[in-house]
Amino acid sequence: YVILRYANSLVAYKKILNFVPADSKLTFEWVDKNLLYLDRNNKYAIFNSPITSMLDKAGEFYFNETAEPDKRHKIILWPLNSQNPNNAVISIPLLSNAISLGSYNYIDFDGFLIQKYNSSAFLSEVQTETVSIRNTDVRRIGGSGSAAIYVAKATVENNTLNDIRTKGIFGDGLIRNNTLTNIEGVGIGAWYYGKGYVRVLNNKLTNIVGVHSNGITYYGDLTPGTGLKGAMFDILIAGNIVLNSRTPITLQGVNNVTVYNNVLQAGAGTGNTAIAIWKPETNPTTNLNVINNVLISHYLPNPISIYGYAVSGFVAKNNIESLPLGQAAGDVANNIYTA
């Protein structure tokens, strides 16, 4: 397979159909050329090559998609340690999602270890107010899924998520006391379908630095003329620590939001702010309170980026900030600026 970067910084896996070494030419499955970055050196990678010389470091493998006569598949593996792979058990999940909730309710998940699924550990796109996910270790999830934990209105607390190749926790209920590390997509968030009551409390997020990956993100749709279609409101983001994230908090088209008592650090070199408000002119955020936070940004002129547009009902008080608010307008008082 050839792995290509395309569209909005996404990744495509395309099967190689032919290789001509003399011409250094690969022919692979179709992808719309308009989605490729043809204006730059479009780098690619090779995945699951049958050329065994390409296995040049521990942990790499080749999986033969053609079954043997006994219907099993051959794997060539360079093991991570000195263990003989012929004497080890190598297993893969047969399902894309570990647990698909469907429309079921009144379920409590506690103390699971879920790893190595290609899509999601938990998946439900319907309202699941009576579902809880607690004390669960989620590792190495993603690649094609929407999020490692994708639930609406559930209680998600005291879980650990590590090395996730998609979004971390996608939901709009109670999300509390979780630890997320090395997340390639958004750490915690939801957009366009929620109807209110979001509580993101006392979570720790570290290394949320993929393309378009922000720490905590909530997007609604308050565009004039659309009514409350997909509106999100009554959001409390409090007591969280977000370290080395492209943008620790991003908001768009949401109402009645309180950001309180958080430590928010934009990743060095990202050129991003601690808090960003997107599309303020066309899809505004209203009634935003930013109080008692530590805001560390790497962008001038302001750690709260509102692009020159005053958020209706904007309050920023008692924050410690690495940069002044600059163009932010509203009830701004009693903040300490360290630069």
pLDDT tens digits, one per residue of 167-220: 999 988 899 999 999 998 899 998 865 566 899 999 999 999 877 789 999 988
- Give the percent of the chain with pLDDT over 70: 84
Q: Is the pLDDT of residue 300 over 60?
A: no
State residue 181's pLDDT score.
97
Q: Which residue has the tokens 């103390």?
A: 111
Pair 324, 297: CB distance under 8 Å? no
Tokens of 316: 């920023």
| pTM for this model (two decimals) | 0.82
Q: What is the mean pLDDT of residues 327-333?
A: 74
Mean residue pLDDT of the chain comes to: 83
Query: Mapping DSSP to helix (H, G, I), strand (E, B) and coil, where does residue 86 land?
Result: helix
| Helix and strand totals (H; E) in the chain | 0, 36
* Measured distance CA(57)–CA(36) in Å, rounded: 30
109-123, 213-227, 281-295: least confidently modelled range: 213-227
State residue 273's pLDDT score.
82
- Phi and psi of 302, rounded to 5°? -145, 145
* Measured distance CA(188)–CA(236) in Å, rounded: 13
* Measured distance CA(76)–CA(230) in Å, rounded: 48
**Contacting residues for 339 by C-beta, under 8 A, at least 6 apart:** 322, 323, 324
Tokens of 322: 């690495």
Closest by alpha carbon to 206, among 248, 239, 158?
Answer: 248
State residue 109's pLDDT score.
96
Q: Is the pLDDT of residue 228 over 70?
A: no
| Residue type present at position 36 | L
Q: Which residue has the tokens 């600059």?
A: 326
Interior/surface letters 137-167, b for 16+ CB within 10 angstroms, e for the rest: ebbebbeebbbbbbbbbbbbbebebbbbbbb
| Residue type present at position 207 | N
